[in-house]
Amino acid sequence: MHIFVSWPGFDRDGISTGRRLIDAGHELVLAPKLGNRKPDELVQLAAGCAGAIVSTDPFTAEVLGALPDLRVIARVGVGFDSIDRAMADELGIAISITPGMNAETVADHTLALILSAVRKIPQHDSSVKAGRWERIGPLTPGELPGKTVGLIGAGTIGRAVARRLHGFGVTVCFFDAQVDALSGAEKVGSLPELLGRSDIVSLHVPLVAETTRLIDEGAIARMKPTAVLVNTSRGPVVDQQAVFQALRDGRLGGAALDVFETEPPGADALRDVPNLVCAAHMGGISHESIDRMTASATQSVLDVLEGRMPDTVVNRNSVQWRG
């Protein structure tokens, strides 16, 4: 069978990845996703493939309908919002993820973004490389001790971030309707309360209808004008243009974004936006996490194609019901 692989870090010769698939008699179709990918292009690339190990390729309803041989999509990561779940259920296509394998990596990255924004590391890097030595003035940084950090979402990643924050002398609060308690953190009663109290707001929620543009103009208006917004979840959770305009107007102190509404966002979208730290949706990526996630995705594809249903499949009931 043919296996479509779009994850850029997939090792074709790895003993737990590509070599396993080849030894099992499968043929790899390697097409790393390095930028925007259109549905029509995806259909052409994945045509005839029974399995897929993927990045954020747009598996829309139309794409899935045009791939009759497809039986399993293994998403390298935990978010599968780029896959039309309802159509996959209807067609009996298994969707697997790699749960828990990059949570600590994302938490590390979140702390790095917080510190970069508060300490103005990117601005100082550019300044020193340009021959300047701006230790005070507009580039004077802040510090974490005494600040309040608000976590929106207290799942696996949110909890890992909270553990790291405890060593920085901050007050941690969180808002999550599904979580009653978080060690060392105070649960607040509403999102507006968290936004108004926090010096740093960090997002750790999935992209669903209820969280789309969760941080919009109204939410920004509730935040302190000195606050820093950090997003390592999904780009559409934030109204990107509203955030950029708030930064330009001085109504928001800073933002650190690992994810964007369109990825990559392009240089024009980011031009002249002050106090903005950016990364290329790499919160969950490290050498170690790539090894763990791609090995897990490989195993999931092999399991499904060999008639087994692994725990990593999020729509296992629908797929099992359809036989």
240 with 307, same domain: the answer is: no
* Pair (202, 234) in one structural domain: yes
Helix H or strand E encompassing 10:
none
Name the residue among 157, 117, 53 with its Cα closest to residue 174.
157
Average pLDDT, the chain: 96
Residue of 134, 263, 292, 316 with catalytic role: 263
User: What SS3 class is residue 243?
Assistant: helix
Query: What local confidence, expressed as pLDDT, does residue 256 receive?
Result: 98
Q: Is the pLDDT of residue 323 over 50?
A: no
Quote the pLDDT of residue 320.
65
148 in the same domain as 223: yes
Claim to verify: residue 123 and residue 265 sit in the same structural domain: yes
Q: Based on the fold, state whether residues 154 and 23 are members of the same structural domain.
A: no
Q: Is 217 a catalytic residue?
A: no
pLDDT band for position 35 (50/70/90)?
confident
Regarding whether 143 and 44 lie in a shared domain, the answer is no
Q: Are residues 109 and 254 in the same domain?
A: yes
- Cα–Cα distance between 126 and 48 in angstroms, integer? 48
Q: What percent of the chain clears pLDDT 90, i.e. is strictly above it?
A: 94
Into how many domains does the chain fold? 2
Q: Is residue 36 very low, low, confident or very high in pLDDT (cuts 50, 70, 90)?
A: confident
Q: Which domain holds residue 269?
A: 103-278
Q: Are residues 158 and 267 in the same domain?
A: yes
- 85 has catalytic annotation: no
Q: Answer for the pair 278, 269: CB distance below 8 angstroms, yes or no.
A: no
The verdict on 136 and 84 lying in the same domain is no
Give Cβ neighbours of residue 227 (< 8 Å, ≥ 6 apart). Answer: 198, 199, 200, 201, 252, 253, 254
pTM of the model: 0.88
Tell me: do 95 and 107 sit in the same domain. no
Catalytic residue among 37, 159, 234, 251: 234
CATH number at residue 298: 3.40.50.720
- pLDDT tens for each residue of 279-302: 999 999 999 999 999 999 999 999
Q: Angle at CA 172, nearest 5°, toward 168 and 173?
A: 170
Sign (positive or negative) of CA dihedral 187, 189, 191, 193: negative
118 in the same domain as 96: no
| Cα–Cα dist 257/74, whole Å | 26
Quick one: 27 and 157 in the same domain?
A: no
Q: Is 281 among the catalytic positions?
A: yes
